[in-house]
Amino acid sequence: MQTLLLWLFYISIFYAFIPGIITRIFGFRAFQKGKSERDYSLTFDDGPDPRYTPQLLDLLKRYNAKATFFVVGSHAEQNPDLLKRIHEEGHLIGIHNYKHKSNWVMQPRTVRKQIRMTAEIIFSITGERTTYYRPPWGIVNMFDFYKLDQYKIVLWSSMFGDWREKTGADKLTERMLNKLVPGEVMLLHDCGSTMGADPDAPKQMLIALERVLQEANRRQMQSIRIDEMIQSNDNVIEKKQSIAKNVVVKAWLLWEVVFHFIFRLKTVTPVDPFLHYRLRPYKGKPVTLDNGSILENGSSIIELHFDNQKLFHIGMNSRSEVHLAIQMIRSMEKELPALAYQLMDNPEFRNAKALYGVSMINRGPEKFGFSIRDLPNGWFAKSTNVYLKILMSIIHPAGKGRLKESPSKLVPKMIIMPVDYLNEHFSVSGSHRKSNLEIVPQDIPVESPELANVTH
């Protein structure tokens, strides 16, 4: 018997106690506080109640406040007109189980059934699906984390004991005003018929709430729905990311100025910079070029670099990956003939064997006659990989999402073109060159935007 009790104790710890702790303390899989600069959120549990919910809705309307109602399914079923009014007056409706029972005392399938029943009741009355769920007493079990993926669990950052009538309006007012700060998610109750609550407790809550709404108006604070508060959180995060990104971009563009000065890069078209280059010796293992010649350690090569500011401008103004690819390819079409002319006109470059650059894996450079080779394993390949992925997250229309979609494909590669090929195909204008460069949008692969990563 003692062994059985011990096992039941362990099961209750893992099934209920630990999930409750990590949810409340660490906010795992649950929303409980916002990051708004001015707004807060009023949330109401246990209703709708035919006596107090209409009074609450009248009060919220007078102060132009929006709230979130986590309704008990059986109460909503009994008061469809009230639920419809909540919806029509612009408030958000969430789920609070069909019966006000703790998830600790129900099997996982029973919890899911309660949620599903309540969701269907809400939909049948309002015509709108809800994806927000607050478990009674904020208590979750272990399976709630994994079986409620379609719902956002919403808890709270402050509660006030408003389910007890003896707390009184004055004490409630004091407690609520102490928590009237931006981002706060306040837990209140518009029904006193659930277990442990006093039937007339909402009367005191309504008195206190009107005082708080008056003070909120004086402070120019507004109560907003939970979905708006969550969106506000996302906006704050995006703003912080945007600031960090701007810092990275400025540092990146400053580095380009320094790099150009140190290595004395030449620019193909100074009036509209896009492609830069320099002469340097090749460092690495021998590479057989497409024309049969061998690029050996020490051979002269022309190293290519895209203009970082131009890259950033193109990336920020591209509507999609394909649009970015088209712009990059069209720009290359204009630059390569000018580059071929400059190389032929300058004796310094006459002994160069190949054009050389580093790019993320893609098929785009092959359109121009480049071949793509693996970078030898080593420090250079690893450091270039990190740099180009940072660059991709900045200039690519899909940002970091592109890196997550196909990280195995986004590795740096060498792109090489024999100078002879450049001279043959790009040094003279005419039908021969045009036929080799005629690229229509449907020919451009989705991977082509990685062409933009030919850079230092």
Give pLDDT, residue 456: 44
Q: In the prediction, which pLDDT does 443 show? A: 39
Residue 254 counted as domain residue? no
Max distance between CA atoms of the chain, in angstroms, equals: 96
Phi, psi of 282 (to 5 degrees): -75, 135
Q: What angle do CA 112, 113, 119 make, to 5 degrees?
A: 90
424 and 320 fall within a common domain: yes
Q: In which residue ranges of the chain is pLDDT below 70?
A: 1-29, 141-149, 234-249, 252, 315-322, 324, 359-364, 377-411, 428-456
Catalytic choice (96, 100, 189, 276): 189
Q: What is the pLDDT of residue 438?
A: 41
Q: Residue 354: inside a domain, yes or no?
A: yes
Residue 347 lies in a domain: yes
User: Does residue 242 form part of some domain?
Assistant: no
The structure's pTM equals 0.54
Q: Specify if 249 maps to a domain.
A: no
Of residues 39, 45, 144, 307, which has the active-site annotation? Answer: 45
* 73, part of any domain: yes
Does residue 243 lie in a domain region? no
**Residue 45 and residue 131 in one domain:** yes
Could you tell me if 295 and 209 lie in one domain?
no
- Per-residue pLDDT at 178: 96
Last residue of a domain, one of 186, 212, 232: 232
Same-domain pairing of 359 and 278? yes
Residues spanned by the domain of 430: 264-453
Residues 269 and 183 placed together within one structural domain of the fold: no
| Structural domain ending residue among the three candidates 232, 255, 283 | 232
Domain end (from 232, 256, 288): 232
Q: Residues 323, 440: one domain?
A: yes
Query: Is residue 271 domain-shared with residue 123, that is, in the same domain?
Result: no
The confidence score (pLDDT) of residue 101 equals 84
> Helix or strand or coil: residue 428?
coil
Instruction: Clarify whether residues 186 and 289 are in a common domain.
Output: no
Closest alpha carbon to 27 in 155, 181, 188, 159: 155
Contact residues for 453 (Cβ-Cβ < 8 A; gap 6+): 358, 359, 360, 388, 391, 392, 412
Domain membership of residue 228 (yes or no) is yes
443 catalytically annotated: no
Residues 113 and 161 in one domain: yes
Q: Are residues 56 and 190 in the same domain?
A: yes
**One domain, residues 130 and 71:** yes
For this structure, is 170 an active site residue?
A: no
Closest CA to 94 of 47, 131, 147: 131
∠ Cα 321 325 326 (to 5°): 120
Please count the structural domains in the chain.
2
Give me the CATH number covering residue 120.
3.20.20.370
Shared domain check, 422 and 293: yes
For residue 405, the model assigns a pLDDT of 46
